[in-house]
Chains A and B, each alone.
Chain A
Amino acid sequence: MSGEFRMPSLGPDMEAGTLVQWRVKPGDAVKRGDIVALVETEKGIIDVEIFSDGVVDQLLVPEGTHVAVGTLLAQLNGGATRTRQVIEVGKPSEAPQPLARSAPVPATHAATSTTPTTTIVPPTISSVPSPEAHRRKVSPAARARARELGVDLERVTGTGMGAAITIEDVVRAAQTVDKPGIAEPAHDMRQIIARAMSRSKREIPHYYLSLTCSFAKARAFLDRYNARVDIESRLLPSCVLLKAVAQAAKAMPEFNGFYKDDAFQAASDVHLGVAIAMRGGRLVAPALLNADQKSLAALMIDLRDLATRVRAGHMRSSELSMPTLTVTSFAEEDVDSVIPVIYPPQVAIVGVGAIRERPWVVEGQVRAELTVPISLAADHRVTDGRAGTRFLATIRNALQAPEQL
């Protein structure tokens, strides 16, 4: 069965992207989840994953090409359309052109020419490069060292036998590599935020609810937990909050999904978007995949991994395009609470206000209690305030029994 790899939509507002680099070559076997290309969008350079298994047959778009979402980028499993033009990778050329491009032949030429002007190039054996021709030669020792040093072998020039990459090449590359950092996006990230937020405020009838919850039990749980584990395994408060929200989303699927084509589609999994600010003022909300199914410890590992990769500019496409519900946290900020704006096409967003001590009335007595205001902005086309109330209560209740998270 043939497979196609098209320019993915890495966010509801993405219209086009630049194929910066291929991470696969014809003949490479790929499986679902493999990173096959780097694509530059307004959000930065994204590691794009593939969604089916197969063997790369042809790469149809050369590196450096700006193409629309949905453009066929590569053919898998020898399923190439027989008439497709083969574009030599690495040679700057035009983006794939529709075959119907051949303009009507001017009459003067038509009179003298009987051959059709659209040349159909049948694929020949030699047009499909052999795997050997494209496999990068990397010595086993060099590969191991590259892993140790975090060197991307694709960027290393081999100087060993048969231009193979040797240990020395890797070490040299590690010394000269630029400080890791996110590549400068082509467009201001403000633009993408502006488009998404304008669309949200234009199209989504928001309603807002807020509930201040005690965080004392959660804090006590974290203190106990963190005193017991190694420093590497310590949990952050946000981890507990995210898990509580994820469980609520699982319990109430009407807050977890997308509003598309005038209808709500509940998502089967909970991929929790986490708004992460990058130094330099950029903001992205990649997803913690299947957050409801993970233990706090596992979630913490994912969260650390995600935060690290976001700051190093290595987000995966699945994490960017998939959030089913977003959490935006101001737990460490100097604000009381947040009234957030939904990220379309999602239908809700949960805001976390500052975790701090506030006056708290228990049995007629006022005392200082560690609390956190949780807010909800939800799409009124999908749910009503009553459901929102239950959603917030579910989160609050979860925070009162943190050991069950």
Chain B
Amino acid sequence: MNTPTIEQQILNAFLQVAPDVDPAKLKPEIPFRDQFDFDSMDTLNFAIGLHQQFGIDVPETQYRELASLAKTAAFVRSALQQDGKRSTGPAAT
């Protein structure tokens, strides 16, 4: 089975928010805001999309972790890991 990578899932959430953006032109390291006029509404919708996609919560204070694709991927990975630790206990690591 083909499981989508975390990056692909993040990209899906991003395209829900900005369907008019060509994903091929998306530069992972550059902030969304500088590339596509991302505003607070986009950020909120993006955070909601990530919540729906991964089940992770993004507190308002951490919105800055969603600034770019690369930063978001790092954030999602760490959030998922935290979740894993919580649910399976320390032995799982």
Contact = CB atoms under 8 A, between A and B. Distances in A.
Q: Do chains A and B touch in the complex (CB under 8 A)?
A: yes
Interface of A: 179-182, 223, 226-227, 231-232, 234, 236-238, 277, 279-280, 303-304, 307-308, 311-312, 332
Interface string B50-93: 01000001111000000000000000000000000000000000
Contacts of A308: 45
B41 A231 contact: no
B18 A311 contact: yes
Given A226-B60, A234-B60, A304-B45, A180 B20 contact: yes
A179 B44 contact: no
Interface string B13-44: 00000111100000000000000110111001
Interface of B: 18-21, 36-37, 39-41, 44-45, 47-48, 51, 57-60
A236 B20 contact: no
A223 B41 CA distance: 16
Contacts of B39: 332
7 contacts: A223-B60, A231-B48, A238-B40, A279-B21, A311-B19, A332-B39, A332-B40
B90 to A, nearest CB: 28
Which 4 A-B pairs have CB atoms at the shortest separation, nearest pair first? A181-B20, A180-B19, A231-B51, A307-B41
The residue among B39, B47, B57 with the most chain A CB atoms within 10 A of its own CB is B39
Nearest to A331: B40
Given A182-B20, A223-B60, A303 B41 contact: yes
A179 B19 contact: yes
A121 B87 CA distance: 78
Nearest to A333: B39
Given A226-B60, A279-B20, 20 more contacts: A179-B19, A179-B20, A180-B20, A181-B19, A181-B20, A227-B59, A231-B47, A231-B48, A231-B58, A232-B48, A234-B60, A236-B40, A236-B41, A279-B18, A279-B21, A279-B37, A304-B45, A311-B18, A311-B19, A311-B20
A311 B60 CA distance: 24
A236 B48 CA distance: 13
A238 B59 CA distance: 18
A36 to B, nearest CB: 25
Contacts of A307: 41
Contacts of B60: 223, 226-227, 234
A250 B41 CA distance: 26
B56 to A, nearest CB: 10
A312 B44 contact: no
Contacts of B37: 277, 279
Contacts of A311: 18-20
A303 B45 CA distance: 12
Contact of A234 (B20, B21, B36, B44): B44
A290 to B, nearest CB: 20
A121 to B, nearest CB: 46
A181 B19 CA distance: 7
A227 B40 CA distance: 17
Nearest to B47: A231
A180 B18 CA distance: 10
A234 B39 CA distance: 15
A231 B57 contact: yes
B67 to A, nearest CB: 13
Contacts of B21: 279
Contact of A236 (B19, B44, B57): B44
Nearest to B56: A231
B41 A304 contact: yes
